[in-house]
Amino acid sequence: MDTRGAILQRLADGRFHSGQALGAELGLSRAAIWKILRQLREQWGLDVQSVPGRGYRLARPVALLDSAGIAAQLNDHVRKAIADIAVHWCLDSTNAHLLERTREQDIHGQVVLAEQQTAGRGRRGRQWHSPPAANLYLSLGWRFASSEPLAGLSPAVAVAVWRALADVGAYNHGIKWPNDLWWQGRKLAGILLELRGEAEGPWQVVIGIGLNVAMPQDHHDRIDQPWVDLATILGAPPDRNHLTALLINHLVATLQAHTEHGLAASLADWQKADLLRDRPVVLQRQEGPVTGIARGIDGEGALRVETPAGMTSWHAGEVSVRPRHD
């Protein structure tokens, strides 16, 4: 943890801490403490209050992620499947961090979380905005013996996240193919799957999830698409450690079922959550757009679209899709 994270950890309780006491604890001058606190305000959008004679505090306490607290809330069978839960203060990307480990070790059951990402990524190379100590940035490593379970894995993971969000009370949400979670026309969460392996197996998969929990006000204008966070949906931000445990519980259960039964294990819930089914859509592809009516997904997770030329199927790497508004 760097000095900014160490200071935030001390301010997380919402109480006053003097610059002198912070400096003594961290071996820094009061001037250095002041500069770091200014960074927390100006660069990270944290509301750090300063009161002469009392010191500094956060306007509202921050519940930081805690690996032991998360592990304690896992279901018993899930806890056995998780090898490690590592919480980092700041990473370029939780996915990139876990992918790097695949060069040297089996990442099966490893969970990586970060309070902040400096280079978070979404599908098709899009940037994922990742302010500190506000949202959830999680990656889970999973091993498959062959490539067969990889078919339909992306929508199955989306269903797992959809189930976890329902458990926390975020109703009226759904899945926009292939794996984005939306609420009333605004994006709530995104998923990025990255794979490493040989044709004959085994395959190591890194499942990355970015979930908007309580987006700071100063980040609102930095996002180039409609979005929403759980604080808006629920009226207050949920406990992020509880939310993380729910996500891991559902991810592991879904992955285990997917290994045995494929996408069939998640298909019923996909049909409940599918935001595009029977709606006019536009598929954007390099050769030009395709229009039609979305008709759900097939057994491999491909989007079925009824066009004037007949029924077609499209995989996530081939196209991007959006509802058509005539």
30: annotated active-site residue = no
pLDDT of amino acid 130: 66
Task: Give dist(CA 182, CA 153) in Å, integer.
Answer: 19
Give the distance from CA 80 to its chain's centroid. Answer: 23
Is the pLDDT at 96 greater than 70, yes or no?
A: yes
Using an 8 Å Cβ cutoff, are 83 and 110 in contact?
Answer: yes
**Strand, helix or coil for residue 70:** helix
Q: Are residues 175 and 297 in the same domain?
A: no
**Strand, helix or coil for residue 202:** coil
187: annotated active-site residue = yes
| Catalytic residue selected from 123, 143, 186, 196 | 123
Task: Give dist(CA 41, CA 45) in Å, integer.
Answer: 5
Q: Are residues 235 and 266 in the same domain?
A: yes
Q: Are residues 50 and 106 in the same domain?
A: no
Tens digits of residue pLDDT in 6-18: 888 899 888 999 9
Q: Are residues 190 and 119 in the same domain?
A: yes
Q: Are residues 16 and 43 in the same domain?
A: yes
Tens digits of residue pLDDT in 40-80: 888 777 889 999 999 999 887 788 899 999 999 999 999 99
pLDDT of amino acid 2: 73
Q: What is the CATH number of the domain that holds 189?
A: 3.30.930.10
Q: Are residues 115 and 261 in the same domain?
A: yes
pLDDT of amino acid 200: 82
For the whole model, what pTM was predicted? 0.88
Q: Are residues 267 and 291 in the same domain?
A: no
pLDDT of amino acid 259: 96
322: annotated active-site residue = yes
Structural domain total, the chain: 3
Q: Are residues 138 and 181 in the same domain?
A: yes
| Catalytic residue selected from 187, 240, 277, 295 | 187
Is the pLDDT at 129 greater than 60, yes or no?
A: no
Q: Are residues 10 and 130 in the same domain?
A: no
Expressed as residue numbers, the domain containing 227 is: 67-272
Beta-carbon contacts of residue 34 (< 8 Å; ≥ 6 apart): 19
